[in-house]
Structure 1
Amino acid sequence: MMKKYRMMLGMSVAIIAALSTATPALAGEGAGVVPRAAERSASASRSMILAATQAGQRLVAVGDRGVVLLSDDRGGSWRQASKVPVNATLTGVSFADERNGWAVGHWGVILHTEDGGETWTSQRMETSEDRPLFSVHFTDAQHGTAVGLWSLLLTTTDGGKTWDKVSLPAPPNDTRADRNLMHVFADRRGDLFVVGERGTVLHSADRGQTWAYRPTGYRGSFWSGTALADGTLLVAGLRGSLYRSSDGGETWHKVVTGTQSSITGVVPLVDRVLAVGLDGLTLESRDAGSSFEVHQRPDRLSLTAAVGAGSSQVVLFSRAGVVPTE
């Protein structure tokens, strides 16, 4: 059972990286775990970072052993959050405004901040099992969605004071909903999309209460996705796979990327779209994701996340922490 469990977790780059660090949250199946607060460290900026976002003008990044990093100078310098109540690996983060944010991770933990990420409190945690949450997205300060292992999907309408499990329908030609859900994002209208294994794309037009599958024709795993300002949807993942939709997810077309390196994040910027991935991969598009130019770092450093900083600047993250700006 544990072997199968670890194998399924390994489908996400976040979990591949987490397994390699022997994070306490994975020290067993969760029974008897006593959560501890995240430790403050002078080397926190070199911790594995798995997700990042903007909180107003501030950048917030989360990762291994409960590390939360904050930057108020567009990624020029970073400091560690002063209070994080758990040392579980954090895999996703979302802010509704410059002060209210949420982070999710192992033990199914959901953390909340009301001061721009300086201090965090726990809203949810299940230490009896380590059923991780991989991603979270809030459309406003009250309405949020979190997704994770084995089709775990949670929604809130009160800012995370309560979280409700959503029972998903079985995928087409399948008997039950048990696919790992890796990333949730919203388009300009507020419609929600979730991507996951076996080419899964889910769509909700009612803030996560009901969901429908949107066939992509792909059978591998999607790890990330985003919506552009013009409504274009991009989803990406295993072995350089990237798909594009210009009709709200009704139909999808494969984009030739010219790489076999897996894509871990897709970030829309003012003048372009940037994707990052394993083996030092970066992909850049200036035509709304119709085509991409491939770049690869000489050091082959696996990139785990990216975030926009200003109009066109971007900050990169990796298993070795914040990537220095070149």
Structure 2
Amino acid sequence: MKKYLHLCNNNSALIGLAMLILTTANVFAQKGVQPLLDRPALMSEIAKNATLLCVTRAGHRILAAGERGIIMFSDDDGQSWTQAEVPVSVTLTNIRFATPKKGWAVGHYGVVLKSENGGESWVLQLDGRRAATLMLEAAKSKANAFPDDIRAQRAVANAELFVQDGPDKPFLDIHMIDARNGFIVGAYNMIFYTEDAGTSWQPWLDHVENPEGLHLYSIRPMDRYLFMAGERGLFLRSEDQGQSFHMMPTPYDGTYFGLLAVATNERLLIFGLKGNVYRSDDYGDTWQKIEVGVSMTVTAAAELKNGMCVLTTQYGEVLISRDQANTFSKLSLEGEPFPLMDVVETFNGNLIVVGTRGVKMIPVSSKLASANKKYAGE
């Protein structure tokens, strides 16, 4: 339990969820109920009201995922939702698609799922048990090849602990370079690479400069670079397509939860705890703080088709930038706010946000368009 609380201690909206999941898992184990890794997600008519942690696009389809293995998809811009067939009941933390049909989802217990039909059904590719075994095998192989390398011997000891702990560590993000090659990242410097669409996964820890084994929350591409962000101010950059990641300094030593590559002006945003948002115009060499006017954790970001940028917060705020992420202002929303975890733009220009009360559409396309015209004319 301490490890889960350590992972979530910088995001209080998830602490209760993590404790509930652990308590439930222990009860199931004691009563001999089928483990969460082996139990398909329960189909429910109210799945869209569950705690959802991620949302994405696959062509014109929108997909959201979260607690208890719930994955849903919508083909009408979020007006209605259908629950997908998922082989596990663990919390899912992220979902990405390389094509409109081929996608991956990751989550707790080291789960990696794959879909080849646009997210309507999923198969299990990897779990924490197998991931830990792969890490141990790779560490032993390197230690045998370099018996005098102290770091290699230490890696074996660390991998043995992963095996002993069992599948208790989550994957948190995905980046697929294409439909065959990609990365998954997660807690305690867990990072794996695939070059066969996930049929096999290679431990990639040796390629990352992260000696303290800090959590990796986000991985994003921009031009010829790959970036990762994590806890305690961790920011990593790769200039060789992910063959190596090196630590780069940033102005903040708290946790970063995400990255956004702003395509309109090749600007990189990094965001996290206490409303901290920074921008870089030189691929992470230097950073400037963006005063976004909030003190709560910034949980997600997206660039819209019209070039505007959106941030969401743990308090339920939605922040809009109409000047390529130089400044942000709060969007006026109806209803009681709830913690938001992710955001995506619909095909018709509205926003879909997800969080602790499920999925919500924000019909702001006309509002944003008029606001943008006003801003452009100022």
TM over 0.5: yes
In structure 2, the residue matched to 1:100 is 102
Q: 1:156 aligns with which of 171, 188, 194?
A: 194
Equivalences for residues 246-261 of structure 1 within 5 A: 246-261=281-296
Q: Hey, what's the Cα distance between the residues in 2 that align with 1:154 and 1:317? A: 27
CA–CA separation in structure 2 for the residues paired with 1:45 and 1:114: 22
Higher Rg of the two aligned structures:
2
Q: Deviations over 1:37-90 (max 9, x none)?
A: 111101111111101111011011110010001011111111101x21111100
Deviation by residue 1:193-234 (Cα, 9 ceiling, x = unmatched): 111111111112333221011211211111111111131111
SS in 2 for 1:22: helix
- Alpha-carbon distance in 1 for matches of 2:180, 2:13: 27
Q: Which protein has the bigger helix share?
A: 2
Match of 2:323 in 1: 287
1:178 matches 2:180: no
Task: Give the CA RMSD over aligned residues.
Answer: 2.3
Conserved in 1, the CA contact under 8 Å of 2:321 and 2:328? yes
Quick one: which amino acid aligns to residue 69 of structure 2? G
**Structure 1: where are the runs of 5+ without partners?**
none
Matched, 1:211 2:213: no
The alignment partner of 1:45 has SS state of: helix
* SS of structure 2 residue aligned to 1:206: coil
Q: Relative to structure 1, is the Cα distance of residues 110 and 169 closer, same or farther in structure 2, using a 3 angstrom cutoff?
A: closer
Q: Give the structure 2 partner of residue 115 of structure 1.
A: 117
Check the 8 A contact 1:280/1:296 in 2, yes or no: no
Mark the CA change 1:289 to 1:56 in structure 2 (over 3 Å): closer, same or farther: same
For the residues of structure 2 that align with 1:301 and 1:56, how far apart are their CA atoms?
28
Offset at residue 12 of structure 1 (A): 4.2
Count of residue pairs brought into register by the alignment:
318
Question: Residue 8 of structure 1 aligns with which residue?
Answer: 7
CA gap 1:135/1:24 in 2 versus in 1, 3 angstroms = farther
Counterpart contact for 2:208–2:244, Cα < 8 Å: no
In 2, Cα distance between the equivalents of 1:59 and 1:13? 27
* 1:266 to 2:301 alignment: yes
Q: Secondary structure at the match of 1:239?
A: helix
Between the aligned partners of 2:38 and 2:332, the Cα distance in structure 1 is: 39
CA deviations over 1:97-137 (Å, ceiling 9, x no partner): 10000000011110000000011011101242311001111
* Contact residue 52 and residue 60 of structure 1 kept, 8 A: yes
* Alignment CA distance shift 1:228-1:299 (3 Å): same
Q: 2:366 aligned with 1:322, yes or no?
A: no
> Secondary structure at 1:195's aligned position in 2?
strand
Q: Deviations over 1:127-183 (max 9, x none)?
A: 423110011111210111111111111111111111111125545xxxx23111111
For 1:155, the aligned partner's letter is Y
Structure 1 length-normalised TM: 0.91
1:7: how far off?
2.6
In structure 2, what residue type is equivalent to 1:200?
Answer: L
Q: What is the CA deviation profile of residues 260-280 of structure 1, one whole-angstrom value per residue up to 9, with x for unaligned ones? A: 011110011022100001112
Residue 198 of structure 1, aligned match among 214, 222, 232 = 232
Equivalent position SS for 2:315: helix
Per the alignment, in what secondary structure is the counterpart of residue 169 of structure 2?
coil
Unaligned runs of 5+ in 2: 130-165, 364-378
- CA positional deviation for 1:18: 2.8
Match of 1:244 among 270, 273, 279: 279
C-alpha separation in 2, matches of 1:14 and 1:112: 27
State the 1:250 CA deviation: 1.6
Residues 4/110 of structure 1: CA separation in 2 closer, same or farther (3 Å cut)? closer
The DSSP-based 3-state class of the residue aligned with 1:16 is helix
Q: In structure 2, do the counterparts of structure 1 residues 313 and 5 end up closer, same or farther at CA, with 3 Å as the change threshold?
A: closer
Of 285, 295, 301, 2:338 maps to: 301
CA distance in 2, matches of 1:235, 1:222: 7
For 1:14-163, list aligned pairs within 5 A: 15-16=14-15, 18-19=17-18, 21-22=20-21, 27=26, 33=35, 35-81=38-84, 83-127=85-129, 128-163=166-201
What is the DSSP-based 3-state SS (H/G/I as helix, E as strand, rest coil) of the residue aligned with 2:77? coil
2:77/2:348 contact within 8 Å kept:
no
Conserved? CA contact 1:52–1:62, under 8 Å: yes
Cα distance in 2 for partners of 1:182, 1:68 equals 20
Match of 2:143 in 1: none
- Secondary structure of the corresponding residue to residue 137 of structure 1: strand
